[in-house]
Chains A and B, each alone.
Chain A
C-alpha cells in the first residue's frame, strides 16, 4: 500500500524540485543570519530606549519642574503625561539630581523616581526608582551625606542619610509618623539590590535620611 502510494510521487518528482530544494538550503544560512541581525537590531533599540527615555524625560521634566516652581502648580511635562513633577531631589556630594514624579506607577518610573508615599503630615516620604537608571547613584550614598528635596511649592528641605537597610520587597515597613523615631521628617530612597546583577530579585536597598533640624 505504502509502496504504491510512494511510487507515483517518486516518479512525479521532477528534477526542478531537487534544484529548488538545494536553493532553499543554500539560502537558509543567509536567512538565519539576516533574521539574527534584524532581531538583534530590534533588541538593541528596545534596550537603548530605556536609558535614553530616562535621560530625555528628565530634561523635559526639569523644564516642567521649573515651570511648576514658577507657577506654584504642577505642570505636566508633556500633554499626555499621567504624572507630574513633585520635587527635585539632589545629592550634592555625588553631583546628582533627579526630578521626582507623583504616583508610584511603573510607567512613571521609566521617567524618573516616583513617590510611593509622600505625606507631609506624617513627614514620611518613600521614593523608588530603577537601580540602573535614576537611582544608580543610591549605591554610592554614604551615611551622613546630604540629600536636598526641593518641592514645587518652593520649599527646600535638607535631609541627611542615616542608615541603610536591605530588605525583601514584601518585608519593608516604615513608621507611621516620622516623629515616632524622634525625627521631623524621614525620606527613604529604595531601589533593587544587589546592584551588580541584571536580573530582578526579591531584595531592595533602602537608604533612610533624616530631616536636619533647622
Chain B
C-alpha cells in the first residue's frame, strides 16, 4: 500500500521524466522528415495558383524603372551587337607564376543606354582578385562580396542609373562580366587581374590563355546533339551565350571581340625555343627578360593562346616561395624528381581508349582525335592489352573487355577508328563507367591506363567526378583535350581524381606530336607512392594524396602553417628504387602570390570533396565563401563588384540589356552545330524574340519515411529484446531458487 501511495514522489517524477524525454525524442524524430517536407513548400509558389509564378526579381525589374530585360537564350546572334568589345591581355611571367591583367573595353555604339554581359574563359587554376572599372578618368576599385550581396548591389546601382561592374564565376574556368548603364557613345573599361601558375613538364614551360568558351552540350539534351535546346532549358543558362553567326562576323569585319596580347617573360633563366603554336608572335628583348606580342596586333577571340618556352640547359629542379597572410605562413614548393631512362623493355600494360565522337567534335577535332588514336594503336606491343570505347549519346565498346594487342585485334580497332563520325550528343558518363570497369583486377597486374580523347563540351561535371573518385580502383585516368577550346577545368579535375594527367592537344599536325609526347611519358617510369613530411615543423600540405608523377613532371605542393620552419622531405619510388629529397623550408624566397594560389588550390579541393560526397553542399558553400572573402578572390560564392557612386543614366531613360555574342571556336563547324537544325524546320528559333525564363522553387520531395521506419523498428526490437531478456532472467531466477519462500501478500 505504501508503495503505491508513495509513487508520485521523487522516484515517480523520475520515471515520468524519463518517459517524457523518450516520448519527446520519438516525436521529434518522427516529425523531422515531415517538417522538412513542408518547409520549402512554404517558400515555394502559393498553393492553388498554378499559373506560372514570376520570381520577385524578374517581376520588379520589369515593372519598376521601365527596365527591359532581354533574355539570353538566343543561340545565334545574327545582328552586329550594339556594344562592341575589345580585350587587351598583359601577362607578366615571373618565375613559376603569371600575373595577368585582362582589360575589356565595352564601347556602346548605339544611342541607347546599355547593359552588357560577356561570358569569357580564364585558366582554370587562375585566381581573380582585382577588379577596376574605369569611366573616363575615374577609376573605381572592386570589392569582394558574397554572391547575393554583390548581385543586390549591382541590381540596385543598375536601377539607380549608376555605372556598375560585376565579376561572377560560373565555373572555375568560366567568368561573366556585367556592366550596367553605359551611355550612348560611351566606353567603359573593366579590368580584372588574376594569378595563374605556369605549367611545367620536363624543362618545357607553357602559359595558356583560353580566349573563347565553346558552345557546350548540356548532358541529356533533346534530339541528337541538340545544342539548340541546351541554352533554353533550365539550369544551364549561365553557361551559354549567343554564338555569332559567321555572316554577321564577316559584316563586322575584324571588329568583333578583337584581342591583343602581350607577355612579359621573366622566368628567372634564359628562355629558349619561345613559340606560340596557334598565333604568330614577335619576340623582343634578350637575356632573361623578353617581351612577346602578337604579330598581327589584334586577333579574333576564337582560339586559345598558348606560349611555350624551355630552359636552356638544366631547368631548376626546385622552386620554393613563401608569403605571410593574416598571421599564417604560406609556402609553395615545386620539386622535380630526376628523369630516369629505362633500360630494357617496359612492362606490359592495359590501355583503354575512350573516344568522343559527339557532334561537338565535328570539324577539325574529330580527325585530330582519330589520328591520335590511330597513332596510339601503333605503339601497342603484343604483350599489351587494350580496348576502345566510343561515345556520343550512345556508346559502343569495341571488345567486351580488354584483349591482347594482336595484329588481328589492332586491325579491327583501326577499321573501327576510321569509321568514327562526329554525330550526336555527349553522354560521357556511361562510357566513363564502362572504362573504369576492371575485369582483370588481380594483384601484381600490369598498369591500367585509361586514355580519354574528348573536347569535354558537356556540363555534368559533378557526376563525372563522382564516378572517377568512387570507382578508379587501380586504373589511372589520362585526359586528352582535343580541339581549340576544350573544357580544361573538367579534364584537369577528372585526371586529378583519376591520379593521371591532363594533356591538351590542339589541331592538325600538332595532334600526333602531342600524342606521341603523352604516350612516351606514359611509358616512362613513374614516381609512385610519393609522400611529403616535414621535420621540425607542422604544415598542412595540399594535395594531401600525392599523385603519381611521370617523367619530367614537377610535384607542386602548397602548404600553410603557423610559422614556416623545418625540413621538407619528399620521397617515393622511381622505377623500383627509393628516391627522396630534403628541402630547408627556411630558405624560401618571398613571393606575394603564394597565399592566393594556396586558397585557389584549397577551393578546388573543397569542390572535389563536395562532388565526392565527403562534404555537404552547404558546408562547401560556406568554406568557399570564407576563403573567397579572406583572400579577396572571385569564387562560386563571392563576386567582385565596383559601383560608380554618382548616377549617370538620366531618370526615365530606358536601359537595354545585351548579351555579347561569342565567336565560334576556330575549327568548329557552324553549319554542323546550328545549320542542320534550322534546315529541319521544326527547330526554327525566333532570333529576335524577347523570351523570359520563369523561375520556380521546387518543393522538397523527400518524405524520409524509410529513416523513421528504420528508427522505429530499431526501437521496437531493442525494447522487445530487453523485455524478453528480463522475463527470461526472472524465469531462470525463480527456477534456480525454488526453495525460497515467496513473500506472502500483505
Binding site for B on A (CB under 8 A): 16-17, 20-21, 23-24, 28-48, 50-51, 102-106, 108-110, 115-119, 122, 124, 126, 128-133, 135, 143, 162-177, 180-183, 188, 190-192, 198-204, 206, 208, 210, 213
User: Which 6 A-B pairs rank lowest in CB-CB distance, beginning with the nearest?
Assistant: A43-B712, A40-B716, A36-B719, A40-B715, A162-B222, A37-B719
Known: A31-B18, A182-B682, A208-B222. A192 touches B460 (CB 8 A): no
| Secondary structure dominating the interface of A | mixed
Residues in A neighbouring B36, C-beta threshold 8 A: 199-200
* Closest residue of B by beta carbon distance from A45: B712
**A116, A202, A203 — most chain B CB neighbours (10 Å):** A116
Residues in B neighbouring A183, C-beta threshold 8 A: 222
Inter-chain CA distance A122–B692, complex, in Å, is 12
7 contacts between A and B (CB under 8 A): A35-B22, A42-B30, A47-B712, A117-B50, A119-B50, A167-B698, A173-B696
B33 interface residue, CB < 8 Å from A?
yes
Residues in A neighbouring B709, C-beta threshold 8 A: 43-44, 47-48
Q: In the complex, how many angstroms separate the beta carbon of A128 from the nearest chain B beta carbon?
A: 5
Inter-chain CA distance A20–B636, complex, in Å, is 65
Known: A44-B709, A173-B695, A190-B698. A32 touches B18 (CB 8 A): yes
**Residue from the list A44, A50, A109, A188 in contact with B699, Cβ < 8 A:** A109
Residues in B neighbouring A20, C-beta threshold 8 A: 2-3, 6, 11
Inter-chain contact A115/B712, CB cutoff 8 Å: no
Inter-chain contact A41/B716, CB cutoff 8 Å: yes
Inter-chain contact A44/B700, CB cutoff 8 Å: no
How many chain B residues touch A (Cβ–Cβ < 8 Å)?
A: 87
Inter-chain contact B716/A44, CB cutoff 8 Å: yes
Inter-chain CA distance A188–B236, complex, in Å, is 15
Inter-chain contact B232/A169, CB cutoff 8 Å: no
Residues in A neighbouring B706, C-beta threshold 8 A: 47, 132, 198
Inter-chain contact B711/A176, CB cutoff 8 Å: no
Q: Give the total number of A-B pairs whose CB atoms are below 8 A apart.
A: 281
Which of B220-278 touch A at CB < 8 Å?
220-223, 228-229, 232-237
B48 interface residue, CB < 8 Å from A?
yes
Residues in B neighbouring A38, C-beta threshold 8 A: 719
Instruction: Encode contact with A along B459-472: 1 for CB under 8 Å, 0 otherwise.
Output: 01011000000000
Inter-chain contact A201/B617, CB cutoff 8 Å: yes
Inter-chain CA distance A102–B700, complex, in Å, is 17
**Residue from the list B617, B682, B698, B718 in contact with A128, Cβ < 8 A:** B698
Inter-chain contact B726/A33, CB cutoff 8 Å: yes
Inter-chain contact A106/B707, CB cutoff 8 Å: no
Residues in B neighbouring A174, C-beta threshold 8 A: 52, 233-234, 693-694, 696
Inter-chain contact A102/B712, CB cutoff 8 Å: no
Inter-chain CA distance A131–B704, complex, in Å, is 9
B629 interface residue, CB < 8 Å from A?
no
**Residue from the list A16, A30, A50, A103 in contact with B726, Cβ < 8 A:** A30
Instruction: Encode contact with A along B405-448: 1 for CB under 8 Å, 0 otherwise.
Output: 00000000000000000000000000000000000000000000
B589 interface residue, CB < 8 Å from A?
no
B714 interface residue, CB < 8 Å from A?
yes
Residues in B neighbouring A45, C-beta threshold 8 A: 712
**B48, B618, B702 — most chain A CB neighbours (10 Å):** B702
Inter-chain contact A42/B723, CB cutoff 8 Å: no
